[in-house]
Amino acid sequence: MTRLILWLALLLVTACQTQLLGQNSVTEKVTLSGKLIAENNDKIALSEVFLYQTENNILIKTELTNENGEFVFVGIPKGNYTLKTNWKDEIITVTSITIQSETNLGTLTVKTQPQQLQEVVVERKKPFIERSEGKMILNLDSNIGSAGSSAFEVLEKAPSVNIDDNDNISLRGKNNVLVQIDGKLTPMTGTNLGNYLRGIPSNAVDKIEFITNPSSKYDASGTAIINIKMKKDKRKGTNGSVSVAYGQGVYPKSNNGITLNHRNKKVALFGNYSFAYREGFNKLLLVRQFYENNNFIGAYDQDNFLKMDFRNHIGRVGMDYYVNDKHTFGISVNKVSNRFNPNGENATDVYDENNVLSSRFRTSNRSKDHWQNHSVNLNHKVVLDTLGTEIITDFDYADYGNKTEQNFTTRYLDLNNVEFQNPYLLYGDVNGDLDIFSLKSDFVTTFKNKLKLESGYKTSYVKADNNLAFFDRSSGINVFDPTKSNHFIYKENINAVYVNSSKTFGKWSAQLGLRIENTNITGEQLVDNTSFKNSYTQLFPSLFVSYNLNDKNSLEFNYSRRIARPSYDQLNPFKFYLDPTTYKEGNPFLNPETTHSLEITHVLNQKIYTTLNFSRTNNNIAEVIAPSDTDAQVTIQTNKNLDTFDLYGLFIVMPLEFTKWWSSTNSINGYYGAYSGTIANTTIQNKGNFNYNMNSVNNFKITKSFTSELTANYRAREIYAFMDVNPIWFINLGFQKKFKNNSSLKLVVNDVFYTNRTTADTEFTNYKEGFKVSRDTRVAILSYTYNFGTSNNQARRRTGGADDLKQRAGSSNG
């Protein structure tokens, strides 16, 4: 382990030294500010301002003017620059300047100068991967392969992201990652979250932010944050877009959506609707071997095929009202509905202690699911001065509900396929309801000495009421089964305050924060009349320091302490059956996990990023598939606490431009994860391996309006606690044609060679398991997008403050 750390450190130092050779000058960073007005003296408010390096026309930084047309660029190297702005849908050059010290340009008049459309396109093109304020950002419009698919499939192909066969998402080796939609956490994990993301069309997604070490400003939940930001038109007038897509794998898929916006000086109205119909399958081949005192006593050889058809509706409407330059009120309402009918067939061959086939059983699953949610956000923003002092307040309410009917029929057969006992009929009636209330307020101010202070508070209340009733229908009537049924009620109250301060000192920038969270929870299982109660208060500090070595090189140091509370799904002691010998259930006695995380990043030319990271997680929440404590031949998929999880990692992003027509963005994520703990009478100590993932996105410019893309992804073998996962690789192809009417046509083929399949082995004391999972991953997708409307920018669009709750509900709404 020591050698690994030294090797990683040496690699980073060598990379830094290589880039520093020959760099003799150290450039001091300064501040540039000013105010923009139009020729008629109107303030140019809420518009983008671009700062370009004059010598090579490289975009250095982008800012947004405030309600008074004022802008500030902080941390700019001395040099020659060109200032441009996006005004009335035109990229306009405002002025050329030379900066040697802190500069205020005063009031600048923007004169309308029509430009060629092609020039505008070149100016605003974004790289596929960029980095900002410690976040890695994927811009989906710059990635052809994202077209016509779903948010889930985009994440599955993203650099440093792994998704296992149960749809659990990890980022750079970190598990228990929180997923947000426009800054609001989704109340799901695992399969429920995966089904929700499959219902979101990728054409509706603008970009995805990966925050591996969030500051104290963010809710302390989760080891890292993935924020999926939806597209929002920022122009005045009436505008929008329409997109349609059809995909064909083994089964058909379709994603369609429409977005409408209207804005004038006082009111901004927005709305969007999308519908996704997707048929898919999950084929699971499973061999389970049972032992007693290390002696083989039997095995199951299982073939499971599950087909699902998702019909997902997502709608959102809202309004922002600009009272004046200082006050803005907003409201948004969301509705999600997802219906799907899982139909499964399970064929199991039973082997005796001599490994001889002795019998068979067949299980059919005919279920119906309806998951839905409604949410509303009320918000207010007040600007107190021209230095950026503001108070933002959010109130959120969300209701998540699900109704599931499960019908299982199991037939027991001899070797001649003759039934030797009556079929077992199991019926499950699952009803879940989750209510979330949240109130938060954030205060931001900047002092004259450029010290920025952020503080705020948040309080939330959550109630989850889940009622599961199972009935044995084998005799022709419903017989209640208390061993499989449960009624679980969970209540949670979290109160938090935070303070965050940041300042730039010449070549140094620092941010220091502290968050305090008080948690109060109760849980009741009404079937067996048991309950639990817990209350605790914890501190979550964060520190971010950056140092600009020169105009090409900079270093960043980042530390934070975080907590991952069990999701409501993970706590829910319900049973979801695959067959009579295999089921999934929650664990109401899970403890939250806490993580200390450190990162050191070197940035070269704002393009090449190299990050070393280490994290220590206590009470690590791990998903396991292990034998039951009461029946050795029954397998349970659940979550348990391990003692510790140590992660050592190296992450590199390197964009390359080989020719004028061929460019690529490449990333490699190498890490060593070491697990320690005891589950199912099996103890592991620092168990893990060195693992790496590689991703390469290659873009080819065939003509000005026709481009293609090739994406390759490889994931090496990984040991995840008790599971050993084999390598995976896949290749995607994409083509795009842009038309003069502001529309585009894309053709994408995902998983061209149908290699994106998971195989793994699991081993516990007296139990071994091997499995292979296949899905409908090889899909050809044709999509068309048309944009329409009028121009000029806006920036206001609130998303809400229920930031740490909706990820954990365990109730799927899509």
- Render pLDDT for 356-367 as a digit per residue (tens, 0 to 9): 999 999 999 999
Looking at the predicted structure, is the pLDDT value of residue 25 above 50? no
Amino acid (1-letter code) at residue 165: D
Structure tokens at 290: 């049972």
Higher-pLDDT residue of 169 and 232 is 169
Side-chain-side CA neighbours of 343 within 13 Å: the count stands at 7
Looking at the predicted structure, is the pLDDT value of residue 124 above 70? no
Supply the pLDDT for residue 112: 63
Structure tokens at 221: 């939940």
> Which of the 8 DSSP states describes residue 793?
B
- Give the number of other CB atoms < 10 A from CB of residue 154: 22
- Give the number of other CB atoms < 10 A from CB of residue 183: 18
> How far apart are alpha carbons 564 and 590 in whole angstroms?
11
Laid out side by side, the sheet with 70-77 consists of 70-77, 29-38, 103-110
Q: Which residues have CB under 8 Å from 115's CB, separation 6+?
A: 90, 91, 92
- Check if the beta carbon of residue 553 is closer than 8 Å to that of residue 602: yes
Spell out the SS3 assignment of 436-483: EEEEEEEEEEECCCCCEEEEEEEEEEEEEEEEEEEEECCCCCCEECCC
DSSP 681-748: TEEEEEE--EEEEEEEEEEEE-SSSEEEEEEEEEE--EEETTEEEPPEEEEEEEEEEEETTTEEEEEE
Nearest of 563, 559, 564, 655 to residue 613 by alpha carbon: 559
Supply the pLDDT for residue 246: 94
Higher-pLDDT residue of 25 and 145 is 145
User: Could you report the per-residue pLDDT of 458-503, keeping only the tens digit for each?
Assistant: 999 999 998 989 999 999 999 999 888 889 899 999 999 999 999 9
Percent of the chain with pLDDT over 90: 43
Helices (H) and strands (E) in the chain, counts: 5, 49
Return the residue matching tokens 């150290």: 26
Supply the pLDDT for residue 429: 92
Structure tokens at 705: 């309006």
Amino acid (1-letter code) at residue 718: E
Structure tokens at 774: 């296949």
Q: Which residues have CB under 8 Å from 795's CB, separation 6+?
A: 46, 64, 234
Laid out side by side, the sheet with 635-641 consists of 575-579, 582-585, 635-641, 621-627
Q: Confidence class of residue 114 from pLDDT cuts 50, 70 and 90?
A: very low
Residue 66: strand, helix, or coil: coil
Nearest of 585, 611, 570, 538 to residue 135 by alpha carbon: 611
Lowest mean pLDDT among 51-60, 219-228, 551-560: 51-60
Q: Which residues have CB under 8 Å from 451's CB, separation 6+?
A: 501, 502, 503
Q: Which residues have CB under 8 Å from 706's CB, separation 6+?
A: 735, 736, 737, 738
Average pLDDT, the chain: 83
Q: Confidence class of residue 811 from pLDDT cuts 50, 70 and 90?
A: very low
**What b-and-e string marks burial along 114-124, b requiring 16 or more CB atoms within 10 Å of the CB?**
eeeeeeeeeee
> Which of the 8 DSSP states describes residue 232?
-
> How far apart are alpha carbons 412 and 366 in whole angstroms?
18
Structure tokens at 635: 């397998």
Q: Which residues have CB under 8 Å from 3's CB, separation 6+?
A: none
Laid out side by side, the sheet with 178-181 consists of 129-132, 135-139, 205-211, 225-230, 178-181, 184-185
> How far apart are alpha carbons 581 and 635 in whole angstroms?
6
The backbone torsions φ and ψ at residue 566, rounded to the nearest 5 degrees and listed phi first, read -60, 140
> How far apart are alpha carbons 586 and 525 in whole angstroms?
12
Residue 276: strand, helix, or coil: strand
> How far apart are alpha carbons 345 and 745 in whole angstroms?
39
Return the residue matching tokens 């119909």: 277
> How far apart are alpha carbons 576 and 585 in whole angstroms?
6
Lowest mean pLDDT among 364-378, 528-542, 799-813: 799-813
Amino acid (1-letter code) at residue 719: I
Residue 218: strand, helix, or coil: coil
Looking at the predicted structure, is the pLDDT value of residue 618 above 70? yes
> How far apart are alpha carbons 139 and 151 in whole angstroms?
13
Give the pTM. 0.75
Q: List the end-to-end C-alpha distance of the chain, in Å, as a whole number.
A: 43
Dihedral sign from CA coordinates of 478, 484, 489, 490: negative
Q: Which residues have CB under 8 Å from 267's CB, separation 6+?
A: 319, 320, 321, 322
Looking at the predicted structure, is the pLDDT value of residue 133 above 60? yes
Supply the pLDDT for residue 14: 33
> Which of the 8 DSSP states describes residue 145?
G
Q: Confidence class of residue 232 from pLDDT cuts 50, 70 and 90?
A: low
Supply the pLDDT for residue 631: 76
CA angle 343, 349, 355 (to 5 degrees): 155
> How far apart are alpha carbons 160 and 224 in whole angstroms?
12
Supply the pLDDT for residue 326: 86
> How far apart are alpha carbons 221 and 87 in whole angstroms?
40
Bridge partners (DSSP) of residue 270 are 261, 318
User: Could you report the per-residue pLDDT of 658-691, keeping only the tens digit for each?
Assistant: 998 998 889 899 999 999 999 988 999 999 999 9
Give the range with max mean pLDDT: 42-51, 342-351, 449-458. Answer: 342-351
Distance of CA 462 to the CA centre of its chain: 22
Lowest mean pLDDT among 68-77, 644-653, 689-698: 68-77
Structure tokens at 794: 């806006």
User: Could you report the per-residue pLDDT of 62-86, keeping only the tens digit for each?
Assistant: 777 876 788 888 777 788 888 888 7
Supply the pLDDT for residue 8: 37
> Which of the 8 DSSP states describes residue 423?
P
The helix (run of H) or strand (run of E) holding residue 609 is strand 608-618
> How far apart are alpha carbons 687 and 675 in whole angstroms?
5
Structure tokens at 709: 């893309």
Q: Which residues have CB under 8 Å from 362's CB, separation 6+?
A: 345, 346, 347, 348, 410, 411, 413
Supply the pLDDT for residue 288: 94
Amino acid (1-letter code) at residue 480: F
3-class SS shares of the chain: helix, strand, coil, % to 5: 5, 65, 30
- Check if the beta carbon of residue 805 is closer than 8 Å to that of residue 438: yes
- Check if the beta carbon of residue 85 is closer than 8 Å to that of residue 47: yes
Q: Which residues have CB under 8 Å from 379's CB, separation 6+?
A: 329, 330, 331, 392, 393, 394, 395, 798, 800, 801
The helix (run of H) or strand (run of E) holding residue 9 is helix 2-20
